[in-house]
Structure 1
Amino acid sequence: LKGLDLPRELAPKVIKELDLIIPAARTYVVFADNNDLMKIYALQVDLPVVDLAHSRIEVRWGKPYVFPLVYAIDEYSRQGVVLLDKAKWHFYTLHLGEIHEVADAFLDIPRDHSRKDEKRPAMRFEQGLVLRGGAEGDHFERHIEASVQRFYKHNASVLEKLVAAWHIDELIFMGPNEDTRFFESYLPKALRQRVIGYAPSLPKPAPSAGEVLQKVAPIIEEKMQATEQALLDEIRDVGRWTIPTVLNDLQMGRLHLLVAPWKVESDVLRCARGLVVEDQAAAKAYCPGQATQEVALRDVLPDLAVAHGARLEFVHGESESRLLNEFGGLAGLSRWRRVKED
């Protein structure tokens, strides 16, 4: 803050506000101006704005710097976790590293099959075995089966409404395998396609939201990496890559999907008329006679994607390393693909 050319009172004001915070989040995002604006957002996720190895923290003055938040919104989808506990079913929403339980999500489930006034049919004994009594026993079994079906169908309807209300992208089931798979069989196809994994029950009933998050986090990470690797495999077959190729195709309107690394470190040149190129050689070829300005690639990618109608995706971890080493730092998928001839 002190290294920037800021209004005189701004840096002390921001530092004072930050001093009052007891750190409880992984990242804090601050927006402030020299009037009355002071907004601080606490996020439980990492953003590509801190490089501890080089003692770098991203600080900007001028146009609101929202690029890191674009990263986060793209990278982290919304998950719903359904915990099939013996005593009570629970539903949790998970987004941007934070988990919350939806209170009494399954409170109104029918309980016909467990009514206290239900009288079980008479039992008789034969050769040391307990046998259910004739037609009355068969009727009781049919009643239980019908009640169970109503129970699961009702819960499936409740879950469908929860997914819509909370804009859930992916589902995870927790509980005994036979229970979770049985319940899944009652879901409509659209919901079954959102299930990304299963986790066993936790040792104690009614676990905390933090314990649930710790259990499902590896499932989410594994699914994310698998999706990113599959995308890179598709690009290897039919896509485009390297920074100069992708920048050219993107600004020609040829790409519908742009894939970038989680930490974009490259610098590029922006010509006076707005074209973005990789280096001076490209500037001479595509922007002859124009003045150029060096800009960080991460600062111009979101605007380029929006301006040319491409969806921006970010990859991290092993997928990020592969994008950098195998694809030269940027990749994309074309709007129109050539049909391979036999």
Structure 2
Amino acid sequence: MTQLDGTLSELAKLRSGSEPIVSLYLDTRWSDEHQRERVRLFVQEKIRKTLGHYADGTPGKEGLERTLRKIQDFVSGLTGQVYEKEKSGLALFACESSGLWRTLFFARPFRPELCTDGFPHLTQLARLADDFEPAIVVAPSQAGADIFHVSLGDLALESHLRGFVPRQEEDQFNSGSGRPGQHYYERQSKDERHQEAFVQKNRKAAVQEVQAVFDHNPGCHLVLVGPSETVAAFERELPERLREQVIARIPRPRQWDNGDGVRADGVVAGAAEAVADHEKQKEQQVIDAVVGQSLRGGLAVMGPDDVVEALNQGRVHKLVLEEDFTLTGWRCDNCDAIGANAETQEVCPYCRGDLKVLQHLGEAMVTRALAEGAEVEIVAHANKLHSYRSVGAFLRQTAQTGLRGASQPWPSAPGASQS
């Protein structure tokens, strides 16, 4: 669960009429005028090519022209550093006839993209939410802990909890005592017990603070930072539900101690690396699981044909899609169903409606999954998944009836006539 979940679901449900929805992604990490000019020219050229695909008099073209003009003006202000100077990525969705104008800035860059379609393109946004899942970074110490909440590659919260820790007395060996060293060692032992009591109190207070942050941001990963003994002692105090969320234990980065600005960068970088390593492992596990369940006849299907059928029927629990998926397909104007065989399909098999070619079937599958409340896992190229044309899905049920192995004699899709 991320702060983008609601936004993705909301955008995924949008559909346009004659005027298409414009989706724009930009890398706004620029340090000089040349980089800003490249972005401005990229948008300008993409707008020119986009309008070149629409003949004069095409329904929706005038509205599209106004939308694109507004986008171009916005990007000019952005490259002129009028606003959002500190962000690294922009996702923008716009359609004048639908009253849509949504700008989203992030600390992470996007691959530059400008496209028009009957629905917003959300794969890059879904990939960001998946790859940069929120994490709570905790650096425990004897005095308490430094606690950071990192979300979508940006520092969202910073808290420094400090308690009292008494200094141990520097007693000297008493050579004149009848029992040499007895007073020194007894005092030392007492001081250590006294100090440990305060350390334990501070540790418990830090654990309570971490619990509060986690409960306010459920589902976060936990990254523990510091010496192994300190981290282990802190982790033992965590309740089981939080220990299960620990994905990494790392030494304290050197750059954390070089000033506030670098410190924040170090925290974000450390969290990003830990989450990225965890994500790589999870991706392979997800691919193995979806292929394995499909081969066993379980709650999973593989390949574009079976996946889009399951999406049309609202049976997908999690879509698993390779980042380099490039197949085309079709979409029905009447019932909004999608399909994978534009070359062989003449009419919609669900409602006999007219079809439009989908240049980006992967985007349509991502949007459909998000609109239905399904999870989306965008994964790097993997031979095992690629063998099934780069897509698979975990299912809520094997068929619309909910019975394993059963299926309806006639297909159905959202909006299709059942008569």
The aligned residue for residue 224 of structure 1 is 279
State how far apart, in whole Å, the 1-side matches of 2:76 and 2:91 are.
15
1:184 Cα deviation (Å)?
A: 0.5
Q: Deviations over 1:116-167 (max 9, x none)?
A: xx87888545899855557666544443333232221221111111222344
CA distance change for structure 1 residues 89 and 309 in 2, over 3 Å: closer, same or farther?
A: closer
Q: 1:269·1:276 contact (CA, 8 Å) conserved in 2?
A: yes
The aligned residue for residue 278 of structure 1 is 340
Q: 1:90·1:101 contact (CA, 8 Å) conserved in 2?
A: no
Q: 1:121·1:140 contact (CA, 8 Å) conserved in 2?
A: no
Report whether the alignment pairs 1:195 with 2:246: yes
Task: Within 5 Å, give how 1:73-92 maps onto structure 2.
Answer: 73-84=129-140, 89-92=145-148
Task: Within 5 Å, give how 1:15-26 maps onto structure 2.
Answer: 15-21=75-81, 25-26=87-88
Aligned to 2:317, the other structure's residue is in SS state strand
State how far apart, in whole Å, the 2-side matches of 1:232 and 1:204 are.
36
The aligned residue for residue 107 of structure 2 is 44
Q: Please, which moves more after superposition, 165-174 or 233-242? A: 165-174
Aligned residue pairs, count? 323
The aligned residue for residue 164 of structure 1 is 215
Amino acid at match of 1:222: D
1:314 Cα deviation (Å)?
A: 1.9
Q: 1:83·1:175 contact (CA, 8 Å) conserved in 2?
A: yes
Runs of 5+ in structure 1 lacking a partner? 51-56
State how far apart, in whole Å, the 2-side matches of 1:255 and 1:142 are.
57
Task: Within 5 Å, give how 1:168-183 maps onto structure 2.
Answer: 169-183=220-234
State how far apart, in whole Å, the 2-side matches of 1:193 and 1:245 are.
35
1:225 Cα deviation (Å)?
A: 0.6
Aligned to 2:344, the other structure's residue is in SS state helix
Aligned to 1:114, the other structure's residue is in SS state coil
CA distance change for structure 1 residues 227 and 76 in 2, over 3 Å: closer, same or farther?
A: same
Report whether the alignment pairs 1:6 with 2:65: yes
CA distance change for structure 1 residues 119 and 329 in 2, over 3 Å: closer, same or farther?
A: closer
State how far apart, in whole Å, the 1-side matches of 2:335 and 2:147 are.
52
Amino acid at match of 1:328: R
The aligned residue for residue 377 of structure 2 is 313
CA distance change for structure 1 residues 218 and 322 in 2, over 3 Å: closer, same or farther?
A: farther
Sequence identity percentage: 19
Instruction: Say which of 96, 113, 116 aligns to 2:152.
Output: 96
State how far apart, in whole Å, the 2-side matches of 1:267 and 1:157 are.
51
Report whether the alignment pairs 1:294 with 2:357: yes
State how far apart, in whole Å, the 2-side matches of 1:204 and 1:26 are.
21
Q: Deviations over 1:279-335 (max 9, x none)?
A: 1435568358542111222442244225555332222x3xx3346523312111122
CA distance change for structure 1 residues 323 and 6 in 2, over 3 Å: closer, same or farther?
A: farther
The aligned residue for residue 235 of structure 1 is 290
Q: TM-score, normalised by structure 2?
A: 0.65
Q: 2:95·2:101 contact (CA, 8 Å) conserved in 1?
A: yes
State how far apart, in whole Å, the 1-side matches of 2:136 and 2:390 are.
33
1:79 Cα deviation (Å)?
A: 0.8
CA distance change for structure 1 residues 217 and 306 in 2, over 3 Å: closer, same or farther?
A: closer
Q: 1:269·1:283 contact (CA, 8 Å) conserved in 2?
A: no
The aligned residue for residue 54 of structure 1 is none
Runs of 5+ in structure 2 lacking a partner? 1-46, 52-63, 295-300, 405-419
CA distance change for structure 1 residues 80 and 127 in 2, over 3 Å: closer, same or farther?
A: farther
State how far apart, in whole Å, the 1-side matches of 2:179 and 2:125 are.
69
Instruction: Say which of 184, 192, 199 aligns to 1:148.
Output: 199
CA distance change for structure 1 residues 86 and 213 in 2, over 3 Å: closer, same or farther?
A: farther
CA distance change for structure 1 residues 184 and 258 in 2, over 3 Å: closer, same or farther?
A: same
1:238 Cα deviation (Å)?
A: 0.6
Aligned to 1:172, the other structure's residue is in SS state strand
Q: 1:6·1:61 contact (CA, 8 Å) conserved in 2?
A: no
State how far apart, in whole Å, the 1-side matches of 2:88 and 2:254 are.
28
Q: Please, which moves more after superposition, 268-277 or 6-15? A: 6-15
Aligned to 1:156, the other structure's residue is in SS state helix
Amino acid at match of 2:65: L
Report whether the alignment pairs 1:327 with 2:382: no
State how far apart, in whole Å, the 2-side matches of 1:275 and 1:257 are.
18
1:203 Cα deviation (Å)?
A: 3.3
State how far apart, in whole Å, the 2-side matches of 1:145 and 1:11 are.
61
1:255 Cα deviation (Å)?
A: 2.8
Q: Please, which moves more after superposition, 71-80 or 85-94? A: 85-94
Amino acid at match of 2:302: W
